[in-house]
Structure 1
Amino acid sequence: MSEMKLTYFNARGRAELTRLLFAQAGKKYVDCRLTGDEFKAMKDSTLKGQLPILEVDGQQICESMAIARHVARETGLYGSSNCEATACDMVIESCNEVINAIIGKMFRAKTEEEKAAADEKIHSAVGGLNKVLVKVKGGKFLLGEKASIGDAAVFSILEYCKVANIEPNAECTAVREVEKNFAEQECIANYLKSRPETQF
């Protein structure tokens, strides 16, 4: 398998899903964490002037979800059939709806009324994710007994929720189950203990 280098800031943010996938797969990679000044110095050498980027044998890949999907395919974490990959995609896109709602709260909601409306939108998106999981989850994990990019995406999105001070509603049991089962794996538990502590 090709050597991979993931470059981002010293934060979870848009790179953490990919880091979780590397941890899940037990795949060694270069985890390059830049300061703001270091990024400014190399910004023009990136495809779109933004992070994260993944370098594979000298070839750059940009866009966080394209990176995550690439790593998942390379490491066998995208299912073993087109139907399983589609199940992962449904969960990933549902997670993206949650992220967009959280971004709306953190960067656009100013008044208390706007923040309350944003919280409601986040809860609605998490509820939608839970409905998808109830319908498609095939066992302990999304695809049965082996974790996939779908499980990692759910875990990652709940970390976003914590940053936004959002606790999923009690009825979102499928979301909570996926989070718990994913985090309790030895490979993930070890990664979570060893990763740098960051605010986001």
Structure 2
Amino acid sequence: MNAKPEMSSKRKKNCSCKSHEDYVKNGVVGNIIRLDAKKVRKAVKDELKKRRDIFDHSTFLCTGCIQYCTDNFLNQPPIKKTREDMENKVEEVVSAIDSGRLSVEEMARIAYALGQSVSRDVLRDQLLQTFDVSGRGELCRLLFVLADKKYEDHRLEREEWKDIKPSMPLGQVPVLTVGKTQIPQTGAIIRHLAREFGLYGKNNMENTMVDVIIETIDEVRAEFVKWVKEEDATKKAEISKKLKEEVFPKFITFVEKMLLVNGGQYLVGNEVTLADVAVFDVISRVSDMWSQDLMNMSTVLKAHCEKIASIPSIKAWLENRPKTAR
């Protein structure tokens, strides 16, 4: 008899733990359970969050990672360190930070291993410079908000911009400064933040599909900017007609298909990613500037945007963020 093909009506659940491969290397993966299930102890979740293995938006955890955490982290007696040991380790960390040899993720792990309550935000300051508008910098802010990470949101006035423009890598903003490094280009910034915050997918294919969404949004934005900049009323109306009849329907159809193919919950993988936040950002801002007709063109897309907007941290940000012209 021929074996029946495996049904894929339900998307496979994957463990959200970033160190999953290491933790279950010599053990058993076991069952995949939701992080909000009662059988997942709060101590386990707190420990894995401290180690940057899971995030607030993580959804699933395997029993193998739970057991590893319990056996190796929670049930181990504290290690006594001499003052000399601590000083040597601190010197190593400082040297690594200054030379740029370590990622923020690695620095956070080292700080935790030393028994220090040093967060990623203390280890490396982050400054986001934009104009005082929502603009392209808003997606960067949403990523910081979703990941619950501290940063300085420096919104430039025109007069100030004249003075600091020469110091910007490309003479434009947004620019994210991490430590001593300036990162220009919105696309580079959002991808950097997504990787740092665990919002870029779990593997190369998921990374790639997030990129597909981002580049598709860039194409839509380029068409929309033509409408924003056009001053001639007749030409503006023509561009608006093209947006309504061609550009937005094509984009919406594509996003709907990706949602449905991926199980209807998220655009990529089984957790919220940069792709979901980016779609929410562009749809909500274009709707505010152009027409609410865009949000109403698709019940599927509207429901997805409402889902992202209802995430507690994003909801609070939307309610309290600075009011700007656009």
Q: TM-score, normalised by structure 1?
A: 0.91
Distance 1:140 1:36, change over 3 A: same
Kindly indicate whether residue 237 of structure 2 is the aligned counterpart of residue 116 of structure 1.
Answer: yes
Q: Which of 182, 185, 190 is equivalent to 1:68?
A: 190
* Contact 2:296–2:302 under 8 Å retained in 1: no
Structure 2 residue corresponding to 1:188, chosen from 314, 317, 323: 314
**Identity over aligned residues, as a percent?**
33
The alpha-carbon deviation at position 144 of structure 1 amounts to 4.9
Alpha-carbon offset, residue 199 of structure 1: 1.3
**1 CA distance for matches of 2:145 and 2:254?**
25
Q: Shift of residue 83 of structure 1?
A: 1.6
CA contact (8 A) 1:102 1:161 kept: no
Change (3 A) 1:169 1:176: closer
Query: Which of these residues, 84, 88, 97, is aligned with residue 206 of structure 2?
Result: 84
CA distance in 2, matches of 1:185, 1:70: 22
1:149 correspondence with 2:271: no
> What's the CA shift for 1:131?
2.1
Number of corresponding residues: 199
- Give the secondary-structure state (helix, strand or coil) at the position aligned to 1:13: coil
Query: What is the CA distance between 1:145 and its match in structure 2?
Result: 4.6
In the alignment, the residues of structure 2 paired with residue 181 and residue 131 of structure 1 have an alpha-carbon distance, to the nearest angstrom, of 19
CA contact (8 A) 2:206 2:269 kept: no
State which of 171, 174, 186 in structure 2 corresponds to 1:49.
171
Measure the CA separation in 1 of the matches of 2:199 and 2:247.
Answer: 24
Moved more, 61-70 or 133-142: 133-142
- Distance of 2:137 and 2:203 partners within structure 1: 26
List, as ranges, runs of 4+ consecutive aligned residues in structure 1 with deviation greater than 6 Å.
none
Whose relative contact order is higher, 1 or 2, with alpha carbons under 8 Å and at least 6 apart?
1
| Structure exhibiting the larger radius of gyration computed from Cα positions | 2
CA–CA separation in structure 2 for the residues paired with 1:170 and 1:192? 20
Checking the alignment, whether the CA contact within 8 Å between 2:201 and 2:269 is kept in structure 1 is: no
Q: Which runs of 5+ in 1 are unaligned?
A: none
1:151 maps to a residue whose letter is D
SS at match of 1:78: coil
Q: Deviations over 1:74-103 (max 9, x none)?
A: 111111112212221222122112211111
1:160 equivalent among 272, 286, 295: 286
Q: Is the 8 A contact 1:7 1:34 kept in 2?
A: yes
Aligned to 1:173: 299
- The residue aligned with 1:14 is 136
1:103 corresponds, among 218, 225, 229, to 225
Root mean square deviation, CA, Å: 1.8
Deviation at 1:161, TM superposition (A): 3.3
Deviations 1:138-187 (A, max 9, x none): 23221355221111111111212321235227442332222111101101
Q: Distance in 1 between matches of 2:220 and 2:170?
A: 25
Verify the 8 A CA contact 1:22 1:29 in the aligned structure 2.
yes
Q: Is the 8 A contact 1:87 1:136 kept in 2?
A: no
User: Residue type matched to 1:165 in 2?
Assistant: S
Structure 2 alignment gaps of length 5 or more: 1-103, 105-123
